[in-house]
Amino acid sequence: MPVVNINKKVFDKLVGKKLSVEQLKDRISYLGTDLEEINDNEIIVEIFPNRPDMLSEQGFARAFSSFIGTKKGLRNYKVNKSNYKVIVDSSVKSIRPYTACAVVKNLKFDNEKIREIIQIQEKLHVTFGRDRKKAAIGIYPMEKIKWPIKYISKKPDEIKFQPLESNKVMTANQILNEHPAGKSYKHLLGGKEKYPLFIDSNNEVLSMPPIINSHKIGKIGENTKDVFIECSGFDLNILKQTLNIIVTALNEMNGDIYSVEINYGKKIITPDLKPTEMKLDLNYANKLLGLKLTHNEIKKYLEMMGYGYKNKVLIPAYRVDILHPIDLIEDIAIAYGYENFKEIIPNISTIGEENKFEIFKNKIADLLAGFGLMEVSNYNITSKNELSNINLNSDYIELISSNEEYNVLRNSIIQSLLKTLSNNKHNEYPQNIFEIGYTFKKGKSETGILEENKLAVALSHSKANFTGAKQIIDSLFENLGLNYTIENAENNIFIPGRVGKVIVNGKNIAYIGEINPYVLNKFGIETPVSAFELNLKELFDCLFTQKL
């Protein structure tokens, strides 16, 4: 989790009330953050990933001042209309297709405020932006920009500019191979025929996202008063949310927010800081909390957490973590005070023990770690495009979602491991990884969905082959005391003739083989990969049956 260093003087001024160190320690801990340290100059806190709006002095002070009652309720942010325009060229569609933009004016920068802006930008990059993959942020001095701005792509050999903190003009490939930021984020543009650029009407480069700003036109200083902000990435909704967090923080610095028209062929206006509405059932909230709160009490606690309440809950534009009424109920619990909940021992007598299947899974994980493999964990939700990359059939569970990155439940863990390998091409090899998790498919159950607990292993290095994957299975089954055979098989993920199915007690419980180069190419992986995926529940049942 990200650790934020908050200037205590700035924080006290924003909160509007100075508390003693002991009071701060008590209230900050109950706000839902992990307090690291408080001294005369700094408050150091660890912010949970669900609250990116608190990754700055302004955002943290806003939440805290509401929590202690000095500035309760929904805050309104005015977005001034403007004639600023960003034109998005169709050439970025397959590279980094979306951007959300804003202008903030009348800022008074000094070294401290520049540090604060750099901190929120960097913390959002690492967390909400998934290390710049989902969202990259650029902030630029307005006095150096000639409007309108264009968001385009060009071939690497056509790109030349002086990157931030460099003393010379460099080509795009020189930046990726020589500049510190270029080397760190090169993998985000690796394999692309063209690279994205923001340029102004004088053809001056503002930045090459998600890598680096221009030194000439992309560096803010103490003389900067007005700034242009852009967020680029693959999900427009994520970019709008990121932009909202930044501009509301800058507004707390007394900046004035101005809209930007973005032209994709159709026009959109950003930012949109209007609160969203959500219904909250009082009985549902009280049932989960074990309380008997009235409407007025609910209103009071919601206002302590920065919401508005008029029959429906009004959710601030910067609160990106509120997805369901349960999230509101969690905030009501924080405002009510976890210390005020009474501990009640249930009138039930039970004897607990660890689930045998969980013990089995832990043993499998320990064995694989002992073989030198690293355990990874991925989301159960993925995208249709990524599932299509592994040539599996379309028997997947589709979700109602406007997010193209997360619109289906995965039906393969190998797909998740290949994505992990794809995201780590810049790290050293060998990369030998495994994951224990769920896959989903249509089937006979109460919900019409069958959940299967599986294990997948992927070995990636220059000599990865069928034998290496089989050696892992050999060692695994030997430690479990199970016998198995491998029979020839066909599976689109693997190279024909280098794939088999693993049979235990007459059951096909796994596929093993060398990943098809066509599939590797889809993920941009240049190193051979061998892998297997097995059904852990069926393996557990086989083990139990054999021991009987």
Digit-coded pLDDT (tens) for 380-397: 988 887 777 675 555 778
Residue 506: predicted pLDDT: 87
Residue 386: predicted pLDDT: 75
Residue 478: predicted pLDDT: 92
For the sheet with 212-213, list strands across it: 212-213, 205-208, 195-199, 149-154, 85-88, 260-263, 267-270
Q: How many residues does the chain have?
A: 548
- Comparing 116-120, 244-248, 334-338, 402-406, the range with the smallest average pLDDT is 402-406
Residue whose structure tokens are 């032209």: 263
Digit-coded pLDDT (tens) for 465-500: 999 999 999 999 999 988 999 999 988 899 999 999
pLDDT higher at 513 or 522: 513
Q: Within 13 Å of residue 10, how many CA atoms lie on the same side as its CB?
A: 22
Mean pLDDT of 274-286: 95
Give the residues across from 508 on adjacent strands: 503
Q: How far apart are CA 503 and CA 510, in angstroms?
A: 7
- Residue 191 scores a pLDDT above 70: yes
356-547, CATH topology level: BirA Bifunctional Protein; domain 2 (3.30.930)
Digit-coded pLDDT (tens) for 123-179: 999 999 989 999 999 999 999 999 999 999 999 999 999 999 899 999 999 999 999
pLDDT higher at 257 or 36: 257
pTM of the model: 0.75
Q: How far apart are CA 94 and CA 491, in angstroms?
A: 29
Q: For 237-262, give one letter per residue: b (16+ CB within 10 A) or e.
A: ebbbbbbbbbbbbbbbbebebbbbbb
- Residue 435 scores a pLDDT above 90: yes
Q: Looking at domain 79-270, which CATH architecture does it have?
A: 3-Layer(bba) Sandwich (3.50)
Confidence grade of residue 196 (pLDDT, cut at 50, 70, 90) = very high
pLDDT higher at 345 or 111: 111
Confidence grade of residue 548 (pLDDT, cut at 50, 70, 90) = very low
Q: How far apart are CA 8 and CA 18, in angstroms?
A: 10
13 Cβ contact partners less than 8 Å away, ≥ 6 residues apart? none
Mean pLDDT of 70-95: 95
Residue 343: predicted pLDDT: 84
Average pLDDT over the chain, rounded to an integer: 91
Confirm if 34 and 84 have CB atoms less than 8 A apart. Answer: no
Residue 192: predicted pLDDT: 87
Q: What does the DSSP assignment read for 124-172?
A: HHHTTTTTTTSEEEEEEEGGG--SSEEEEEE-GGG-EE-BTT-SS-EEH
Confidence grade of residue 351 (pLDDT, cut at 50, 70, 90) = confident
Residue 545: predicted pLDDT: 63
Could you give the maximum distance between any two Cα atoms of the chain, in Å?
A: 79
Domain boundaries, the chain: 3-68, 79-270, 278-340, 356-547
Tokens in use for 182?
Answer: 């270029």
Q: What CA–CA distances, in Å, run from 415 to 44, 385, 400, 535?
A: 39, 11, 21, 15
406 Cβ contact partners less than 8 Å away, ≥ 6 residues apart? 379, 381, 382, 383, 399
Query: Does 3.30.56.10 match the CATH number of domain 3-68?
Result: yes
Strongest mean pLDDT among 39-43, 299-303, 447-451, 507-511: 299-303
Say which CATH class 278-340 falls into: alpha beta
Give the residues across from 267 on adjacent strands: 263
Residue 321: predicted pLDDT: 93
pLDDT higher at 445 or 92: 92
Number of Cβ within a 10 Å radius of residue 509: 21
Give the residues across from 460 on adjacent strands: 431, 529
- Give percent helix, percent strand, percent coil of the chain, each to the nearest 5: 35, 25, 40
Confirm if 159 and 195 have CB atoms less than 8 A apart. Answer: yes
Residue 209: predicted pLDDT: 96
Mean pLDDT of 270-299: 95
412 Cβ contact partners less than 8 Å away, ≥ 6 residues apart? 387, 390, 392, 439, 456, 493, 533
Q: Is 226 helix (H, G, I), strand (E, B) or coil?
A: coil
Closest CA to 331 of 308, 349, 304: 304
278-340 and 356-547 agree in CATH topology = no
Give percent of the chain above pLDDT 70: 97
